[in-house]
Amino acid sequence: MTTKTAYGNRLSDLPRTTVGAIADLLARLEGTVPAPVARALVAGGAVLTAASAFLGWTWTARFPGDLTVSGYPGGLQWLTVATAVLLLLQALAAYQVPGLKVLAPTGHTGPLRGLALTAFATTWFTLIAICYELGGLVNLTTGGVIAGLAVLPALFGALALPTDRRPAPPVATANPWVERAGIVAVAAIGLGVFTYAIDTDYGELFVGFLVAAGFAAGSYARSGATQRLAQLLSRQRPFASAAAFVAAALFPLTQTNDHNANVGVNILIFATVALGLNIVVGLTGLLDLGYVAFLGVGAYTAALVSGSQFSTIHTQFPFWAAALLGGAVSLVFGVLIGAPTLRLRGDYLAIVTIGFGEIFHITVQNLDGSSGPKLTNGPNGIPQIPDINLFGLNLGSVHHLGDTSITIGRFANYFYLMLIVTLIVVAVFSRAGNSRIGRAWIAIREDETAAEAMGINGFRTKLIAFALGATLAGLAGTVSAHVTYNVVPDPYVFAGSAPPNSAFLLAAVVLGGMGTVTGPLLGAALLYLIPDKLVFLQNYQLLAFGVALVLLMRFRPEGIIANRRRQAEFHDTDLPAQGTATDTVGLSKAGA
């Protein structure tokens, strides 16, 4: 095969052996029609695809989302519209429409191909789902066939365009207010996408969303637009953080029922704990597989002093005191567990932490008065935990926003409380990570022997990271006890079918992007939503979840949000080839 592939030779393109054959085949389409024709095909195809979503695609409303109506899109058709619009925007950028240049920093053909593939995959996923669920092609109406065909010329046109990959030109810094407006727009889009994902009320729609979002995100990552965005966000970091916070705070207001706020608060708890774990795993490089125990310690501590009638300690602390106590008890446990285990490295540490995680689970299951002192009520746990009363504000009741009719329900209250906790954890993470101690953590992750030779007390530094991670998890645990009304031993295990458990937490960190702030937040959101939304798969839920994980790791091993260091790594590959010489350093000399 000497065919020139349509892809550049970036590292991320190399390991595509399985799809290689198809890619080679598709690459032969390049140049089969003149570029202007190809471009017109893409733009025309995009318009047609979007228009076809306004037709009915099937004859019966038995397929969820009711795709029978002509005149406006419904359900999965909205995803086709969205992807077609993205494709059209990209095509307009290729026509040099002013203002759209930001979409294609490294050439037009790459993102056009990616987005054409996105529109194709999304549309055909819907059509195939219709045929599969209703039983046969006959269930497609003319509108459905048109949609399926309309997207093909766009895909063909994109593949026929000549490859024009070029290095991204240096960033021209725009007016800061223009940049900020862009960030606000991105935050709004992000909130919209997240709200859409959480609102998807049937499995097909969620899977369709994953297909569309996954392909689109991949296209933008390859086009360099994502990298541009990351640079923009880091230039405007304080503003970007504020915008993200405001967007998160607006989330409960977009929800009409409290159920989604419940999902939101659980995601926040999960994400916050994952961020705490990121200090241990992502920054310090300690593989902790029993981390969820610290969430449990916090939750049980808060439950015991919550004033629940089932608590074996009949006291009621105000929440702020309970939160501090939960964090402090977790800190103590972190030091107690860390002190003996952190003398181990690598795999041994991982195994011992699994052990301690299970010890916690088994201990709380047995502190029921018969096999041990009565403290945790064993498997029954501590139910009927009262709602938090924070400075006279009962978080259990519904509040109105001022005099407006906007209501903030119970879970929305907790969402705001948890948002503050998340904010604290984010601040701790980023401040600690970018300091003397944070550099010591990263140095230990990179090379513990060299770090000690540079004067870092390895054990002490690792213990601080371990204890800090434990404290943050304990803090999140105190809120989680109140949100779920009860505390039972079951969630605090190494692996289970629903978050949070240690395996899910670790997956959220690795999947989201180790060592970053946004990575674990995004990873946790995905890992919470995917099992939650794939309930319709019933027994195959975990299988599908596993497949999703494998695919994500296969195509994005560095995590969804790549670390700044990894970005710099890509950035620096533009240097002369000298950089590659470093790969041979380890081989240069034998010896200690």
Three-state SS for 552?
Answer: helix
Distance separating alpha carbons of residues 141 and 57, to the nearest angstrom: 5
DSSP label of 372: S
94, 359, 502 from 497: Cα distances, Å:
46, 20, 11
Q: Given the complex with other proteins, which of 374 and 565 has the nearer CB atom?
A: 565
> What six digits make up the tokens of 56?
């009915």
Residue that has been written with the tokens 């995803």 in this structure: 79
Q: Given the complex with other proteins, which of 345 and 439 has the nearer CB atom?
A: 439
Three-state SS for 581?
Answer: helix
Q: Which of 47, 290, 237 is nearest to 153 (CA)?
A: 47
For the CB of residue 579, give the shortest distance to other proteins in the complex, in Å: 4
229-249 in b/e burial notation, b at 16+ Cβ within 10 A? beebbeebeebbbebbeebbe
For the CB of residue 396, give the shortest distance to other proteins in the complex, in Å: 32
For the CB of residue 577, give the shortest distance to other proteins in the complex, in Å: 10
> What six digits make up the tokens of 367?
């502190």
For the CB of residue 469, give the shortest distance to other proteins in the complex, in Å: 12
Q: Given the complex with other proteins, which of 1 and 585 has the nearer CB atom?
A: 585
Q: Which of 128, 138, 122 is nearest to 60 (CA)?
A: 138
Distance separating alpha carbons of residues 99 and 119, to the nearest angstrom: 23
The two most distant CA atoms of the chain are separated, in Å, by 81
For the CB of residue 430, give the shortest distance to other proteins in the complex, in Å: 10
For the CB of residue 447, give the shortest distance to other proteins in the complex, in Å: 5
For the CB of residue 234, give the shortest distance to other proteins in the complex, in Å: 13
Q: Given the complex with other proteins, which of 189 and 450 has the nearer CB atom?
A: 450
Q: Given the complex with other proteins, which of 187 and 233 has the nearer CB atom?
A: 233
Contact set with other proteins (CB under 8 A): 427-428, 431-432, 435-440, 442-443, 446-447, 449-458, 464, 468, 565-566, 568-569, 572-573, 575, 578-579, 581-582, 585-586, 588-592
Q: Given the complex with other proteins, which of 159 and 275 has the nearer CB atom?
A: 275
Q: Given the complex with other proteins, which of 46 and 281 has the nearer CB atom?
A: 281
Distance separating alpha carbons of residues 414 and 482, to the nearest angstrom: 9
For the CB of residue 332, give the shortest distance to other proteins in the complex, in Å: 16
Q: Given the complex with other proteins, which of 40 and 463 has the nearer CB atom?
A: 463
Cis upstream peptide for 252 (omega within 30°):
no
For the CB of residue 432, give the shortest distance to other proteins in the complex, in Å: 5
Q: Given the complex with other proteins, which of 294 and 441 has the nearer CB atom?
A: 441
Burial of residue 216 (number of CB atoms within 10 Å: 0-12, 13-18, 19+): buried
Q: Given the complex with other proteins, which of 111 and 515 has the nearer CB atom?
A: 515
Q: Given the complex with other proteins, which of 310 and 459 has the nearer CB atom?
A: 459
For the CB of residue 352, give the shortest distance to other proteins in the complex, in Å: 23
Q: Which of 484, 441, 446 is nearest to 460 (CA)?
A: 441
13, 19, 41, 283, 503 from 22: Cα distances, Å:
14, 5, 22, 39, 35
> What six digits make up the tokens of 179?
């940049």
| Residue 502 amino acid letter | S
Distance separating alpha carbons of residues 198 and 411, to the nearest angstrom: 15
DSSP label of 491: T
Q: Given the complex with other proteins, which of 138 and 453 has the nearer CB atom?
A: 453
For the CB of residue 356, give the shortest distance to other proteins in the complex, in Å: 23
Distance separating alpha carbons of residues 511 and 25, to the nearest angstrom: 31
For the CB of residue 230, give the shortest distance to other proteins in the complex, in Å: 16
Q: Which residues pair with 408 in a beta bridge?
A: 399
